[in-house]
Amino acid sequence: MKKKVLKDIDCEGKKVLVRVDFNVPLDGGEVTDINRLEAAEPTIRYLMDNDAKVILMSHLGRPGGEVVEELRMDPVASELADLLGEEVTKIDDCIGEEVGLAVSEMAPGEVLLLENTRFYPGEKANDPDFAGKLAQPADIFVMDAFGAAHRAHASTVGVARYLPSVAGFLLQRELNALGEVMENPEHPFLAIMGGAKVSDKLEVIRNLYNKIDYLIVGGGIANTFIAAQGYEIGESLAERDKLDLARELVAEAKNQNVELILPEDVVVADRFAADAESRTVPIDSIPEDWQVLDADGPRSLKKYKEIIKQMKTIIWNGPMGVFEFDKFAVGTNEIAKAVAESEAHSVIGGGESASAVRKAGYARQMDHISTGGGATLTFFEGKSLPAVEALDNV
């Protein structure tokens, strides 16, 4: 990576503003998943151990530029304090006199968490005035929120105009892991693409065609491809206006010598519910009023597993079905198991892919699970990340 990283700078005694990704799920005012806090811990601890004053900022949810009480960072501060085993001071603003006063009272090694940056409209607008106010109390900026690196916001890009700016350990690790698999993969190389919309993965698939040998398609995306072959898909989730696009991707795969593998059988349900009646059918026999909730029937899974065993590199983005319902998580879970047990170097895209792998219990057996969702897809598309571009060059 040609950008400066945390170990390139002297942070002792400095006021260090760190953009973390603490956009965590909440339920009744409680944090229900601390994976993003754990991912940020190495950078925070390094700064604490090197006697920096650690000022953390993040967005949380979508408050729309207004204060939303349910989206304050207080529950995050509590969980972070438990994780660090140290006090975390949280204040009710992210700019202004209150921030300046709190920073001036910090001792080296202490941690301060600012309020939700998206309480201000200037955050998403990347307003220079707002970015300058965020940067004002600090000496150094550390970008460590890979999950927000594709967003040109004030707290990810704007502050870098005002402060020496470097990558934190999480961002550095993500860029190295994703960069290695995209630039120097070992073959044969398989991509597994799931999720809801083929349009969301269009540029990813097209960029990957230049690198991969195999592509397995599942999830809602598979329904669109099945329909594009002329089969009826009942009430299944699909982009029915993207059938021509799916056919184009099939043709492009052939032209690029990529073996595109689609389901042969699927699990259908009479309604979208955890306790729905279900059955396994070939793709040419999907009932008119039913819907595909798992794109991996037994015949499909057998074929997928045989391919996975032969691979040296695998990237996976998007679940293969409605994994939130145990009854329809079989395909996703079986794919996770097969990838985890393979000898391939495995990289799991963020978002729902990461959640599915963790839920299935195979997270520790994967080589890399990305903390990004949109950022990972942007990287796989071959596009630059604005928050990385804004950092200081080596």
First to last CA, the chain: 9
376 CB-near residues (< 8 Å, 6+ apart): 178, 317, 349, 350, 351, 370
Residue numbers annotated as active site: 36, 197, 351, 374
The answer to whether 86 touches 54, Cβ cutoff 8 Å, is: no
Of the candidates 190, 157, 238, the one whose C-alpha atom is nearest the C-alpha of residue 339 is 190
Crossing angle of helices 198-208/243-255, nearest 10°? 10
CA–CA dist 144, 156 (Å, integer): 9
> 165 forms bridges with which residues in the sheet?
141
| Burial classification of residue 85, based on how many CB atoms lie within 10 Å of its CB (0-12 exposed, 13-18 middle, 19 or more buried) | exposed
CA–CA dist 240, 364 (Å, integer): 38
The answer to whether 209 touches 187, Cβ cutoff 8 Å, is: no
| Burial classification of residue 363, based on how many CB atoms lie within 10 Å of its CB (0-12 exposed, 13-18 middle, 19 or more buried) | middle
Of the candidates 257, 199, 197, 200, the one whose C-alpha atom is nearest the C-alpha of residue 222 is 197
CA–CA dist 91, 102 (Å, integer): 8
The answer to whether 141 touches 164, Cβ cutoff 8 Å, is: yes
